[in-house]
Structure 1
């Protein structure tokens, strides 16, 4: 079988660096990924014929290549989504969702249609991880996605943000501990409702009921197999231990919540060093942002792998779930992971 070629054309080298490894990982072994970032080289390249299966091109360079690639064989990189384009802020995930499945490895083609699991983590307490996780679930549900929120913290207090929080039943607690697969069947009956579904918070430490992170992840895997939800938002424990790092490394979508302080930026940099096996789509939500102060997240080398999706400004009053939905907060992040 002749090799096929996917051509990426963009003058934004930072963007290209951010998507290159993910695309290469997703394509079949007999698909060649070719990247052009220099306009002069592009002009020389176009002087000779090439067999290109699909072209992904920055809309600013479309005029140079439009005659060579019909609309059916090209995808534009733009500021926002559209019928013929993807947002540059959504990274490789957006491209893989739109590209012909026959170019992808079998497991990646199947994943396009499966339940999406979005993991949310942070590098320290007090940065708003729980509210951002709930807000992301609410935003996803707002777009019509069937969404479930799961909090994997052993000590759970997210009911504070909900209108009428349900409590985890004794039956669900037992099932999560002993039989996560059966718990996945029970969730449709016992889930709390807040515009999105949520696994009700436990009144006790999860660990005291022998509900470990491993069992929560088994529960998530069973839910994905059932395909009852379009999206599952899993808030990971704040401590970046060995199990949490392993989970993040294997994630398809990972959102890191952080404030803009130098301390948090340094911790994020250390976390990035431990995510060498991460090949998914990663984003940063800068919470409690103060525009008048220096944002140390902008200075770090992890921004290529984990671009700042948006900054949520610090307010005089504590932010609520209602505030998120009434404003523009987390719309861009939800768009990035759909």
Structure 2
């Protein structure tokens, strides 16, 4: 088998460390990943003629590439968030931004097919806006339309059983699954499929405590989601993100195919949506809004802000006293959200 070389030239050690493992896991077995971060070593590397399939080089280091280094394709690694050409990759998109730009023959076969499994990232700009209920109910509505759906909660302290039917088995992650998530996404996916809770949609069991207690990181959970997506088992994987917008979350969202943001109807939520949109202005995918816990006797500030930004509001979910999945579905909620996402 002829090996192909993907060469990344980046002097940003922190960036390299963050993307190396995630990138390597999704490359074809015929691809060799080389990363050069030291300028002196780059000079030595180029002393004799070399040919690579793909060269990804940070823009500030382009002038250091000599004629001895020939590449079938060149991509520029940019620190800008607004990209004005197709051959540039934003560093803020992390490993997924690179993967989306790779030629098909460099991606392992599982990842090629994974693009048929759509990942919906659900986040919130306001606490109490019904993010968990939105994620699960939208998933159930999609399942009612014949789609196979998986729900994964990425919150550091996962808790969603209180919203489900009391008869739902409250199963928790086994030690085997916890260990696998921390060290190996392929093994973790095998374990997860064995332990999945099968209700109207599949649900990854929650932890009994904080993720940090078990050495499970946000990145390791994302790796599990990507591995499951690569297996083409599900039509949709709905990932509920933690509150806030950390650098890790921001990097992931920049490369999201679909983001669903939940919010409240008040002015503060509208301002937060506006701020969120400013941060995510280079998003390549689609962003939708679902406004939760709406009260008809109060002013709604979301419609105008969504119109100005060009992000559609799927629906306004009313405030109800018994805020459970069954009651929300019985009232016909989240049909429009699901319709927008499919």
Q: TM-score range by the shorter chain?
A: 0.5 to 0.7
- Partner of residue 247, structure 1: 252
Q: CA deviation at 1:270?
A: 0.9
Query: CA separation in 2, counterparts of 1:134 and 1:221?
Result: 19
- Answer yes or no: is 1:118 the counterpart of 2:123: no
- Residue 337 of structure 1 corresponds to 341
2:150 maps to: 148
Alpha-carbon distance in structure 2 between the residues aligned to 1:112 and 1:243? 22
Aligned to 2:136: 134
1:209 and 1:112 map into 2 onto residues whose CA distance is: 28
Cα offset, 1:326, TM superposition: 2.0
2:212 aligned counterpart, secondary structure = helix
Q: Given the alignment of the two structures, is residue 210 of structure 1 paired with residue 215 of structure 2, yes or no?
A: yes
Q: CA deviation at 1:254?
A: 0.7
Offset, 1:243: 1.2
Question: CA distance change for structure 1 residues 323 and 106 in 2, over 3 Å: closer, same or farther?
Answer: farther
1:195 aligns with 2:200: yes
Whether the 8 Å CA contact 1:128–1:287 is kept in 2: the answer is yes
Report the alpha carbon displacement of residue 322 of structure 1 after superposing the two structures with TM: 0.6
Deviations along 1:177-230, whole A, 9 cap, x unmatched? 111221112222100122111110100101221211111111111111111111
Confirm or deny: 8 A CA contact 2:151 2:239 kept in the other structure.
yes
How far apart, in 1, do the equivalents of 2:318 and 2:181 lie? 37
Please state if 1:283 is matched with 2:285. no
Counterpart mapping for 1:12-51 below 5 A: none
- 8 Å contact kept, 2:306–2:312: no
Partner of 1:266: 271
Aligned residue pairs total 231
Moved more, 228-237 or 324-333: 324-333
Q: CA deviation at 1:238?
A: 0.8
2:323 matches 1:325:
no
The superposition leaves residues 124-163 of structure 1 with CA deviations (integer Å, 9 ceiling, x where unpaired) of: 2111111111111111111121111000001111111123
Runs of 4+ more than 3 Å apart: 110-113, 301-305
TM-score, with length taken from structure 2 = 0.64
What aligned pairs does 1:219-258 form with structure 2 within 5 A after superposition? 219-258=224-263
CA–CA separation in structure 2 for the residues paired with 1:196 and 1:174:
25
Q: CA RMSD in A?
A: 2.0
Q: Which residue of 1 aligns with 2:182?
A: 177
Equivalence for 1:299:
304
Q: Normalised by the size of structure 1, how large is the TM-score?
A: 0.65
Structure 1 alignment gaps of length 5 or more: 1-104
Alpha carbons of 1:251 and 1:333: their partners in 2 closer, same or farther (altered >3 Å)? same
| Kept in 2: contact 1:272–1:302 (CA 8 A) | no
Where in structure 2 are there 5+ consecutive unaligned residues? Answer: 1-101, 105-111
The 2-side partners of 1:134 and 1:327 are apart by 15
Counterparts in 2 of 1:303 and 1:160: CA distance versus 1, 3 Å: farther
- Report how far residue 113 of structure 1 moved: 6.0
Alignment of 1:90-129 (within 5 A): 114-129=116-131
Contact residue 113 and residue 230 of structure 2 kept, 8 A: no
Secondary structure in 1 matching 2:316: strand
Confirm or deny: 8 A CA contact 1:162 1:194 kept in the other structure: no
